[in-house]
Every structure is written in structure tokens, then in C-alpha cells.
Amino acid sequence: MATVVGSMKYKRSEFMKKTEDIEHIKFDDAPEGWSDRCSGDGYKRIINEDGERVFADNNVSVGIGYRPCAKCKEYPTVEGHDACLGTLGNVMNACCGHGRNKGYIQFDNGVTIRGYFEIEYD
């Protein structure tokens, strides 16, 4: 059976080798703080013609593990926060949007801000 990635066609054995070339951290090797993260990392997921849930950019199984953020190319902090946001004070939850979706900041007082953020550092 062959798998199509873009305009390239791979035999199953060639395709599986490609998985090793995708930067990722296996689920079992990730810090405990990552276990309750939202599923967002900026990579679109699809169901391929074989019924497998895969990343749209490379047709590799989403089961390979965590990938770095599609926008900043960084992994989350050890606590599970988006690297570009870090640990924010008085915040319950936050997501940068990973360059693909609207981000949000949910404050402890119940206020939520949503939008496409540009992160600035002092």
C-alpha cells in the first residue's frame, strides 16, 4: 500500500522511516505538566484515506508524540505553558494560538481575552 504526501508517493516502509525525521517528543518522555495541555500546537490534523488521524503537513500519525509549536518552534515549558507566554500571573488558562488559531487568556476573575496576539518581551 502506498501513502501520498503532497505530490510524493511512499511505500508504507518508506513512509514509516519518515516519521523518525519529524521533530517530536514521545508522549511517555514528556514532562508530567504536559499531560493536561490543550491539543493545540498549530498543526492541522486530518483523517487520511486509511482512516488514520494524521498531521496534514506530512501525513504522519498524531500518535508520534508532541511537536514543537508551529509558529515559534518551541516546546511548552515544563509546567505545560506555551513557551512564548510562559507562566502568567492571575491567569487560569492561556493559549497563544500557535500562529493558526485565535489565542486566549482566561483570567482568575473570569474575564477571557481572545484574539491573534503578538508577543513582546522587555
How many angstroms separate the CA atoms of 96 and 69, rounded? 10
Flag whether 21 is in a domain: yes
Has residue 121 been placed in a domain? Answer: no
| 77 lies in some domain | yes
Domain contains 122: no
User: Looking at the domain assignment, is residue 120 inside a domain?
Assistant: no
User: φ and ψ at 105, to 5 degrees?
Assistant: -130, 120
37 lies in a domain?
Answer: yes
Angle ∠(16,100,24) on CA atoms, nearest 5: 30
What's residue 6's pLDDT? 44
In a domain, 38, yes or no: yes
pLDDT at site 115: 93
Distance CA 108, CA 96 (A): 17
89-109 pLDDT per residue, tens: 999 989 988 888 899 999 999
Per-residue pLDDT reduced to its tens digit, 35-88 = 766 657 889 999 999 999 999 988 889 888 889 999 889 988 888 888 888 899
Domain range holding 64? 2-115
Total domains in the chain come to: 1
pTM score over 0.85 = no
